């Protein structure tokens, strides 16, 4: 009887461990599925950056203001109405950023590790030439992933369709 009890306890322990492993695997897959569901992304240096899109005047004005944190390999793409000289600042920002100014599919200007603006007036970060897009990513992202001026930005198929619909390129 005692031997049966011990075997039953061991079986229950193994069953619990297996169930926990299955739950952990399912949880991991759900996180992966959620991250891979974002159809809007760009690829730079073979690294995908999942995007939130700012393509209306209101969304461009708000941008990432008051955002406390951003997942790694994520960012916000500002889609401008037409190629123009763009000026960005860090007013009401909670996190430092890297800013990439993009003309067509080329990075033309980068500002690395741009600090938040705590006291007005806030510094302006100009594009220095006409651009179609501005990409904001976590501070240090460009350095970490060796992103430089002149590199190509590849748009996901869904993002490319959205850009065409909004009149870009």
- CA-based nearest residue to 132, from 156, 164, 158: 164
Radius of gyration of the chain (CA): 22
**CA-to-CA separations, 89 to 74, 99, 122, in angstroms, rounded:** 19, 10, 6
Retrieve residue 76's tokens.
């916000």
Label residue 12 by pLDDT band (50, 70, 90).
low
Q: What is the pLDDT of residues 68-102, one digit of tens each?
A: 999 999 999 999 999 999 999 999 999 999 999 99
CATH class of 41-165: mainly beta
pLDDT at residue number 113 = 98
Q: What is the pLDDT of residues 23-66, one digit of tens each?
A: 444 444 444 444 445 799 999 999 999 999 999 999 999 999 99
Q: What is the β-pairing status of strands 74-88 and 97-103? A: unpaired
pLDDT at residue number 3 = 61
Q: Which residues of 23-39 are buried (b: 16+ CB within 10 A; e: fewer)?
A: eeeeeeeeeeeeeeebe
- Residues contacting residue 55 through CB under 8 Å, at least 6 positions apart: 78, 79, 162, 166
pLDDT at residue number 15 = 47
Please answer whether residues 90 and 118 qualify as being in contact, where contact means their C-beta atoms are separated by less than 8 angstroms. Answer: no
Q: How far apart are the C-alpha atoms of 93 and 105, rounded to whole Å?
A: 27
Q: How far apart are the C-alpha atoms of 87 and 28, rounded to whole Å?
A: 40
Q: How far apart are the C-alpha atoms of 50 and 92, rounded to whole Å?
A: 23
**∠ CA(134), CA(139), CA(144), 5° rounding?**
100
Retrieve residue 96's tokens.
């430092």
Residue 43 Cα to chain centre, angstroms: 11
């Amino acid at each position: 009887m005692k031997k049966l009890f011990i075997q039953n306890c061991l079986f229950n322990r193994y069953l619990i461990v297996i169930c926990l492993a299955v739950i952990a695997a399912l949880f991991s897959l759900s996180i992966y599925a959620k991250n891979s569901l974002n159809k809007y992304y760009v690829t730079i240096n073979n690294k995908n950056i999942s995007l939130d899109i700012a393509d209306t005047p209101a969304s461009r004005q708000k941008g990432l203001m008051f955002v406390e944190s951003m997942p790694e390999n994520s960012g916000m793409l500002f889609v401008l109405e037409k190629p123009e000289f763009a000026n960005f600042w860090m007013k009401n920002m909670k996190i430092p950023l890297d800013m990439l100014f993009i003309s067509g599919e080329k990075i033309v200007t980068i500002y690395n590790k741009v600090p938040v603006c705590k006291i007005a007036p806030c510094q302006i970060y100009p594009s220095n030439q006409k651009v179609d897009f501005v990409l904001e990513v976590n501070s240090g992202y460009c350095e970490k992933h060796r992103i430089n001026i002149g590199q190509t930005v590849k748009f996901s198929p869904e993002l490319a369709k959205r850009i065409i619909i909004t009149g870009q390129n």
